[in-house]
Chains A and B, each alone.
Chain A
Amino acid sequence: MSGFEIKLRNDSDVHVLEIKGELDAHTAPTLEDEITALIDQGNHQIVVNFAGLNYISSAGLGVFMAYIEVVRDLGGDIKFSNMQPNIYNVCDLLGFPTLYDIVDEELEAIQKFNNQ
């Protein structure tokens, strides 16, 4: 198993989650804990940088689905950036592009938050 890692950085009010490795039903709870912690601390501007992620299953995407409404209701958003083509393909197949803001570069996502 190649495992799964999360690193949290923040750029002013925008919090960036760098996710690496494989995000599946097994590792999804780790991501869930991280996201709920951010929400509990009142951080609602979240960018998920997918650069290091090489596998995602629908359970992994389920975590984002589970919290997007909560975050948006609080006036924030979860934006995705730096997806590898295979990851984007899965998101696309499952219909995520219509529900989420997916951008090429992390900076673009951060700027979108800052320009609000």
Chain B
Amino acid sequence: MADSTKNTADLRSRFELKTLLDTSRLLIESYDPDFILNNLLLITMGKLFTTKGAILLRENDDYFKVAKSKGLKGIKEDQLIECIADTCKTDKPISNLDDFGDNLPPVFEANGINTFFNIKTSSRHLGFLCIGAKVNKNPYTPDELNFIENLVIISAVAISNSLLISDLKETNRELDKKIQELNTLFDISKELNATVDRAQMLNIFRFALLGQMLIRKFFFIMMMDGKPIVATKHGVTDEPTDEQMEELLKLDRDFIFCSDLPVEVPFLVDNEIAALVRLKFQNETAILGVGKRANKKPFSSSDFAYLVSLGSLAFLSLQKSFLLESRIEQERMQEELNIARTIQTTLFPNPLPKATGYDIAALNVPSREVGGDYYDVLKPNENQLYLAIADVTGKGVPASLLMANLQAILHILAPLNMDIAESTAKVNDIIFNNTPSDKFISFFWGWLDLDTDEFHYCNAGHNPPVLANSKSKKVELLSDGGMLLGALPTLTPYTAGRVKLEIGEVVVMFTDGISEAMDADENEYGEERLADCVAKHVEKSASEILDALVKEVTTFCNGNYGDDLTLLVIKKTA
């Protein structure tokens, strides 16, 4: 009898040893924590005849996580339980409810859990295998507890290893993800660099946000010429106001969840924007607002770092495209100005027509590439010589167009040999009809009868040309005419002036670039100084008089002409 009891005990102990051995092999050979934990719990529950059991694993310093839970109410897998180990004596193999004091949530006691096997390796406490009472309410025998204790010791090593391996796998996956992110950045930067088309840039950026971050809604604001603009957006229905954008651009950190903003911005709320990312490049700031991710995963700090990299790439490319655009625009305008300048140059008479007994000199120096001054000398027939000078309001392409218009009219009217005052009235009506009300032309023209030396002129609001006589030294101003061209339709007729040019007499026509040139104290050169200068040099040739005037004006204003310089000088020589 004694033998048979001993035999049964032996058999039983050998059976248990075998179970332990098989189980340990099974567990040790698996690297899957889920499999190991599940088996550990199932074997324990089977061995101890209990229907309730759970495994808690240490998640971090503050929490335990329910890794496995069977037959328990209110204890779910993946649930976090606030640290219960601090007050618990984990140095013994088995703890009970009392060991936890008040720290254990009451739900354990409610489920009848009273036995806590400490799962630990030689260096770390991993967690607890918790079980309820036996189905038949009998207490656990020391043998039973001893068996589970041994099982837990073996399992602890397996759990520890498998957790390490899961950690490694997770780390590997994180690394793979980082590599993927870097690949994306590389891919995107290649593509962004290859294009200057903003629509294409937006598409590339949009696909990167969608594909890499699963972000469907976003907007991108930046400063452009001192004004905030929405550079690109997607899935966002309206645009923020300038004030809202300026406020957003003041963001003082690299990223923020919109829920953490001190004030609620309706635009962000309406468009379900979840977070803002600040991008900085030199002194420029841009803000990338992003919506929730399609897989509902929250943004991690690593996600934000990635958004900063991706956003910065897009920011730089956008800036580059805007710069390039303004550069192209500048070059286009320069090109247009060059064309206008070329056209304008061809409008000036070259060479100047010659007339027997007369010496003519002319000069035009535009202050910008395309000025608003015009002069002309025409000889429609052997007996007539037309001289004209004009100043068009404004400069650049619009002024040169108006000047071309005037030139065409003069070249058509001159051969018609009409009365100079009547012709001027016609010119005024055409110019008035052709131009907006803020464009005028001050204009002086006249024709010289080469047989009689009589000069028939009409002055339409232009600085009166100076007529100087070398013998008498008298100076006369040619001011008969009427109002500026283009201001009003011709209501009162223009009057014509007539002077007879004697040998040695000089007529100097000029624009206000000469008379209004200023010295350092902002005194104008003035028509008086001009008349004096002409009188002083009246004995000289037309081109010498012109040079003397230019020299004197240049000295007076120290070379700082504010406007175009135009001079037309004619002298009766014989």
Binding site for B on A (CB under 8 A): 24-26, 28-29, 32, 57-66, 69, 89-90, 93-95, 98-99
Could you jot down 20 A-B contacts, CB within 8 Å?
A25-B187, A25-B204, A26-B190, A26-B194, A32-B203, A57-B184, A58-B207, A58-B208, A58-B211, A59-B188, A61-B210, A62-B207, A62-B208, A63-B207, A89-B176, A93-B173, A93-B180, A94-B212, A98-B295, A99-B214
5 smallest CB-CB distances across A and B, nearest first, come from A62-B207, A62-B211, A58-B211, A58-B212, A61-B211
Report whether A26 and B211 are in contact in the complex, using a CB–CB cutoff of 8 Å. Answer: no
Contacts of A57 in B (CB 8 A): 183-184, 187, 211
Contacts of A66 in B (CB 8 A): 206-207, 210
Report whether B180 and A65 are in contact in the complex, using a CB–CB cutoff of 8 Å. Answer: no
Instruction: Classify the interface of chain A: helix, strand, loop or mixed.
Output: helix
Contacts of A59 in B (CB 8 A): 184, 187-188, 191, 204, 207-208, 211
Contact of A99 among B176, B184, B206, B295 (CB under 8 A): B295
**B281-321 residues at the A interface, CB under 8 angstroms:** 294-295, 297
**Closest beta carbon of chain B to A98's beta carbon, Å:** 5
**Closest beta carbon of chain A to B474's beta carbon, Å:** 81
Chain A: CB-nearest residue to B181: A58
Taking A26-B190, A65-B210 as contacts, is the C-beta distance between A95 and B297 under 8 angstroms?
yes
In the bound complex, what is the Cα–Cα distance between A32 and B173 (angstroms)? 29
In the bound complex, what is the Cα–Cα distance between A59 and B176 (angstroms)? 17
Contact of B191 among A26, A61, A63, A64 (CB under 8 A): A26
Besides the contacts A59-B184, A59-B208, what 20 more A-B pairs have beta carbons closer than 8 Å? A24-B191, A25-B188, A29-B203, A32-B203, A57-B184, A57-B211, A58-B184, A58-B207, A59-B204, A59-B211, A61-B210, A61-B212, A63-B210, A63-B211, A64-B211, A65-B211, A65-B216, A66-B206, A90-B180, A99-B294
Contacts of B485 in A (CB 8 A): none
Chain B: CB-nearest residue to A64: B211
Chain B: CB-nearest residue to A25: B191
Report whether A95 and B207 are in contact in the complex, using a CB–CB cutoff of 8 Å. Answer: no
Residue B258 at the chain A interface, CB threshold 8 Å? no
> Could you say which of A58, A66, A69 has the most chain B C-beta atoms within 10 Å of its C-beta?
A58
In the bound complex, what is the Cα–Cα distance between A24 and B297 (angstroms)? 24
In the bound complex, what is the Cα–Cα distance between A65 and B176 (angstroms)? 21
Residue B25 at the chain A interface, CB threshold 8 Å? no
Contacts of B498 in A (CB 8 A): none
Report whether A62 and B209 are in contact in the complex, using a CB–CB cutoff of 8 Å. Answer: yes
**Closest beta carbon of chain B to A39's beta carbon, Å:** 16
Residue B500 at the chain A interface, CB threshold 8 Å? no
Residue B73 at the chain A interface, CB threshold 8 Å? no
Contacts of A29 in B (CB 8 A): 200, 203
In the bound complex, what is the Cα–Cα distance between A63 and B134 (angstroms)? 58
Report whether B212 and A62 are in contact in the complex, using a CB–CB cutoff of 8 Å. Answer: yes
Chain A: CB-nearest residue to B174: A93
Contacts of B295 in A (CB 8 A): 95, 98-99
In the bound complex, what is the Cα–Cα distance between A25 and B209 (angstroms)? 12
Contacts of B297 in A (CB 8 A): 95
**Closest beta carbon of chain B to A73's beta carbon, Å:** 13
Contacts of A63 in B (CB 8 A): 207, 210-211
Chain B: CB-nearest residue to A57: B187
Contacts of B183 in A (CB 8 A): 57-58
In the bound complex, what is the Cα–Cα distance between A57 and B203 (angstroms)? 14
**Closest beta carbon of chain A to B186's beta carbon, Å:** 9
Contacts of A64 in B (CB 8 A): 211
**Closest beta carbon of chain B to A67's beta carbon, Å:** 10
Contacts of A99 in B (CB 8 A): 214, 294-295
In the bound complex, what is the Cα–Cα distance between A60 and B183 (angstroms)? 12
Residue B177 at the chain A interface, CB threshold 8 Å? yes
**Closest beta carbon of chain A to B303's beta carbon, Å:** 11
In the bound complex, what is the Cα–Cα distance between A32 and B184 (angstroms)? 18
Chain B: CB-nearest residue to A28: B207
Chain A: CB-nearest residue to B209: A62
**Closest beta carbon of chain B to A90's beta carbon, Å:** 6
Chain B: CB-nearest residue to A29: B203
Report whether A58 and B180 are in contact in the complex, using a CB–CB cutoff of 8 Å. Answer: yes
**Closest beta carbon of chain A to B299's beta carbon, Å:** 13
Contacts of A69 in B (CB 8 A): 216
**Closest beta carbon of chain B to A34's beta carbon, Å:** 15
**Closest beta carbon of chain B to A31's beta carbon, Å:** 10
Chain B: CB-nearest residue to A66: B210
Contacts of A65 in B (CB 8 A): 207, 210-211, 214, 216, 294
**B202-244 residues at the A interface, CB under 8 angstroms:** 203-204, 206-212, 214, 216
Contacts of A89 in B (CB 8 A): 176
In the bound complex, what is the Cα–Cα distance between A58 and B176 (angstroms)? 13
**Closest beta carbon of chain A to B318's beta carbon, Å:** 16
> Could you say which of B191, B194, B207, B208 has the most chain A C-beta atoms within 10 Å of its C-beta?
B207
In the bound complex, what is the Cα–Cα distance between A58 and B206 (angstroms)? 11
Contacts of B212 in A (CB 8 A): 58, 61-62, 94
In the bound complex, what is the Cα–Cα distance between A32 and B203 (angstroms)? 10
Contact of A94 among B200, B203, B206, B214 (CB under 8 A): B214
Taking A25-B191, A65-B216, A95-B295 as contacts, is the C-beta distance between A60 and B211 under 8 angstroms?
yes
Contacts of B188 in A (CB 8 A): 25, 59
Report whether A62 and B206 are in contact in the complex, using a CB–CB cutoff of 8 Å. Answer: yes
**Closest beta carbon of chain A to B172's beta carbon, Å:** 11
**B145-195 residues at the A interface, CB under 8 angstroms:** 173, 176-177, 180, 183-184, 187-188, 190-191, 194
Contacts of B210 in A (CB 8 A): 61-63, 65-66
> Could you say which of A26, A60, A69, A93 has the most chain B C-beta atoms within 10 Å of its C-beta?
A93
